[in-house]
Amino acid sequence: MVSLSNHEGDGASSSDRLRMRGIAEVRGEGTMDNLSSLKEELTRAAAAAADLAALEEVRIGALGKKGRITALMKELGTLSPEQRKAQGAALNVLKDEVAAAIEARKEALAGAALDAKLMEERIDVTLPARPESVGRIHPISQTVDEVVAIFGEMGFTVAEGPDIETDWNNFTALNIPPEHPARQEHDTFYLPGEVDGQRMVLRTHTSPVQIRTMLKAKPPIRIICPGRTFRCDYDATHSPMFHQVEGLVIDETTHMGHLKGCLIEFCRAYFGVDDLPVRFRPSYFPFTEPSAEVDIGCERSPAGLKIGHGSDWLEILGCGMVNPKVLENCGIDPARYQGFAFGMGLERISMLKYGIPDLRTYFESDLRWLRHYGFASLDMPSLVGGSYS
Ligand code: PHE
């Protein structure tokens, strides 16, 4: 009402006066005094909101489409330019202050809600786990740990490479040119399109990590590379995604005798059979020359398969002396350097060691399977204790 009387008789047109009277009568909140009491009322309401829902009500009542501050804003159009300027500025300040009060309360409520949640969900991490809810280590993780532990003791370090490879790293650099028959055997998954004029593939073996390592490191090199590999194949002994471990040694003196000694030692340590028969059979891989496949002794009986002395052999890995062409492709002088490489399927050696009959079950995410074949989380493999000693 104060504002209305201020404007009486100041030359405003009668329709202006009428409009202004209407505003003041309807809202009665537009004056400076009223604005400050409105601010007090709204900020107090915000501070007193007991929860987020109550706070939202305060916000809607003040700043929502039909809120009190919004209504005052809408009335600005009915004021004279001068009044509009002063009133607009005051309303903007009010709006900001009320919004800030709501925001502050929101943060306080969120903080309190988080505190309450944390209190409610508090757990004593020092309590022993319930036996029925203890997790198990997947046989592949366990096998990787075991293989890394054995080769680690021999001085190998672990190298890694990406699952998606260039055609060159996966094939060409490994002496498998485009028309080579070995390409067909690999049942490759090709990715659509090309990158820098090259087709990309899901790596069909871990051998491209040899290439990556030789391209960036100088000999001597002694690495193993465990990792995922992909081939379009699916039955009891094949899965489209499986794991291999690759090994590579390059220096000036390493020869076939070292290859044999290293792999015989590995097989005996991994299967935990000190006198395990191991034989090397001539074979062919484009990236090694000469090449061999390695068999271990076993006995097949109606009771099952037993690794060790027996009348039978089981193939477990491929190996050979690195083909000089591969060294050349990687910028390593084959007249000076030589070495060996090997590769094996991790599911295969884990199935043999732990008597797991079907490779597909490794990736079915069946918890009953994992409880049966999995390993205790603290069962760390080592050469002096653990699952293969
Ligand atoms: N890359 C071969 C395969 O996947 C295995 C292998 C690696 C053989 C290194 C020899 C040397 O079948």
What distance in angstroms lies between residue 319's CA and the mean position of ligand 1's atoms?
A: 6
Bond prior to 131 in cis (omega within 30° of 0):
no
What distance in angstroms lies between residue 311's CA and the mean position of ligand 1's atoms?
A: 27
Higher pLDDT, 32 or 28: 32
Identify which of 187, 195, 236 has the alpha carbon closest to the alpha carbon of residue 356.
236
* pLDDT range class, residue 5, cuts 50, 70, 90: very low
Mean pLDDT of the chain: 88
386 burial level (CB within 10 Å; 0-12, 13-18, 19+)? middle
Nearest residue by C-alpha to atom 9 in ligand 1: 342
Instruction: Determine the pLDDT at residue 47.
Output: 94
The ligand 1 atom at the shortest distance from the C-alpha of residue 229 is 4
- Looking at residues 13-40, what average pLDDT do you find? 62
What distance in angstroms lies between residue 246's CA and the mean position of ligand 1's atoms?
A: 7
CATH number for the domain formed by residue range(s) 139-373: 3.30.930.10
- Looking at residues 321-328, what average pLDDT do you find? 98
* pLDDT range class, residue 381, cuts 50, 70, 90: low
Q: 383 in helix, strand or coil?
A: coil
- Looking at residues 216-231, what average pLDDT do you find? 96
The ligand 1 atom at the shortest distance from the C-alpha of residue 204 is 4
CB-side exposure of 336: number of CA atoms within 13 Å?
7
Taking a C-beta distance cutoff of 8 angstroms, is the pair 286, 323 a contact?
yes
* pLDDT range class, residue 383, cuts 50, 70, 90: low
pTM for the model: 0.67
pLDDT in tens, 88-125: 999 999 999 999 999 999 999 999 989 999 999 998 88
Q: Does 87 sit in the ligand 1 pocket, CB within 6 Å?
A: no
**Maximal C-alpha separation, the chain:** 120
Q: Does 139 sit in the ligand 1 pocket, CB within 6 Å?
A: no
The ligand 1 atom at the shortest distance from the C-alpha of residue 205 is 4
The ligand 1 atom at the shortest distance from the C-alpha of residue 247 is 9
* pLDDT range class, residue 16, cuts 50, 70, 90: low
Expressed in angstroms, the distance from the first to the final Cα of the chain is: 95
What distance in angstroms lies between residue 298's CA and the mean position of ligand 1's atoms?
A: 23
> For residue 2, is pLDDT > 60?
no
Query: At residue 63, what is the residue type?
Result: L
Q: Does 20 sit in the ligand 1 pocket, CB within 6 Å?
A: no
What distance in angstroms lies between residue 11's CA and the mean position of ligand 1's atoms?
A: 99
Instruction: Determine the pLDDT at residue 26.
Output: 44
d(CA 73, CA 87): 9
Which positions ≥6 away from 134 have C-beta within 8 Å?
Answer: 376, 377
Higher pLDDT, 115 or 6: 115
* pLDDT range class, residue 4, cuts 50, 70, 90: very low
Q: Does 340 sit in the ligand 1 pocket, CB within 6 Å?
A: no
Tally of CB atoms within 10 A around 30: 24
- Looking at residues 352-381, what average pLDDT do you find? 88
* pLDDT range class, residue 29, cuts 50, 70, 90: low
Q: Does 205 sit in the ligand 1 pocket, CB within 6 Å?
A: yes
- Looking at residues 197-201, what average pLDDT do you find? 90
> For residue 161, is pLDDT > 50?
yes
H or E element at residue 298: strand 288-301
What distance in angstroms lies between residue 354's CA and the mean position of ligand 1's atoms?
A: 23
What distance in angstroms lies between residue 223's CA and the mean position of ligand 1's atoms?
A: 14
Higher pLDDT, 234 or 202: 202
Q: Does 280 sit in the ligand 1 pocket, CB within 6 Å?
A: no
- Looking at residues 141-167, what average pLDDT do you find? 96
The residue behind tokens 């002088």 is 333
Instruction: Determine the pLDDT at residue 22.
Output: 41
Q: Does 339 sit in the ligand 1 pocket, CB within 6 Å?
A: no
> For residue 259, is pLDDT > 80?
yes
What distance in angstroms lies between residue 285's CA and the mean position of ligand 1's atoms?
A: 7
Which positions ≥6 away from 151 have C-beta within 8 Å?
Answer: 224, 247, 266
Domain layout of the chain by residue ranges: 14-121, 139-373
Q: Does 229 sit in the ligand 1 pocket, CB within 6 Å?
A: no
H or E element at residue 24: helix 14-26
What distance in angstroms lies between residue 359's CA and the mean position of ligand 1's atoms?
A: 19
Which positions ≥6 away from 359 have C-beta within 8 Å?
Answer: 236, 237, 238, 239, 242, 347, 348, 351
Identify which of 25, 17, 36 has the alpha carbon closest to the alpha carbon of residue 1.
25
Pocket perturbation via mutation, ligand 1, pick of 169, 174, 201, 207 by most ligand atoms within 8 A of CB: 207
Q: Does 151 sit in the ligand 1 pocket, CB within 6 Å?
A: no
